[in-house]
Structure 1
Amino acid sequence: MSRPVWAAVLARWEEPDWLPSTDNLPAEWWASRLVSSQCDLATAIVLVWWMLWKHRNAIVFDGASPDVARVLRSIVVDGSLWRSGGLFKG
């Protein structure tokens, strides 16, 4: 479920080569992409993970069906809220 979401997000960011392999742990992948000057990138990565986590919980606890399009819409909607709240600096 998370791989197609990340593929779509990374395509939008024009970084399709960043798609982690199935062998990568999320923390390893994340650490390999970040440098200290990229606050917005770190925030964006957290946003995607947060939306994936919320969707996973909806599947497990509320009986929702896996839906990549729904997660992508949530990323856009919540990303706008995060931006208006000042979480993105650029």
Structure 2
Amino acid sequence: WLSLQDRCWTAERLARHGLPHELACALCDQEDETMQHLLAGCSFSRQVWHDILAWARSPTDLPTGDTDLLAWWASSCALVRAATRKGLSSLIILIAWWIWKHRNSCTFDGDRPPVSHLCSTIKDEARLWAQAGAAAITNIIPER
């Protein structure tokens, strides 16, 4: 929710408030860090989106740095059957949350785990959600 409201403390927001910050994205070090870049345009994040959406057999395109994330989310959900919309929405939220957590780990702890590590974490978390009773996500993730 905060990311869609541009309320997360990215480099762009820190700069607007006159606070110290690194300019470059903590994940790719290629562009300035904005919420849109971090969640949709970053090469690291795009690999994560690709791997997880492919794993879930989602027919949606990847978000891009030029597309509003909320608009992409809505159009992606419109492409899938009604029975899988809630599951896809849950997965999108899960991916965005873990990208943000990964960014924070890189920024504050100096971690640099590879895409494969983050994807494995997201898949494990999705399975845990399914085991905890999130039936909607169970509809879209593959069995082991």
- TM norm. shorter chain > 0.5: yes
Aligned-partner residue type, residue 92 of structure 2: I
- Show the counterpart of 2:124: 77
* Map of 2:114 onto structure 1: 67
Alpha-carbon offset, residue 32 of structure 1: 1.4
The equivalent residue for 1:56 is 103
Larger radius of gyration: 2
* TM-score (structure 1 length as normaliser): 0.83
Deviation of residue 66 (structure 1)? 4.9
**Alpha-carbon contact 2:63-2:72 (below 8 Å) kept:** yes
CA RMSD of aligned residues (A): 2.1
> Using a 3 Å threshold, how does the CA distance of structure 1 residues 16 and 79 change in structure 2: closer, same or farther?
same
Gaps of 5+ in 1: none
Distance in 2 of aligned mates of 1:56 and 1:16: 27
CA shift at 1:13, angstroms?
A: 3.2
TM-score if structure 2 supplies the norm length?
0.55
Q: Which has the higher contact order (CA 8 A, sep 6+)?
A: 1
1:86 and 2:133 aligned: yes
Mapping of 1:5-84 within 5 angstroms?
5-15=48-58, 18-35=61-78, 37=82, 38-84=85-131
| Count of matched residue positions in the alignment of Structure 1 and Structure 2 | 90
Query: What amino acid is the match of 2:73?
Result: W
Q: Is the 8 A contact 2:48 2:115 kept in 1?
A: yes
The runs of 5 or more residues in structure 2 that have no matched partner are 1-43, 140-144
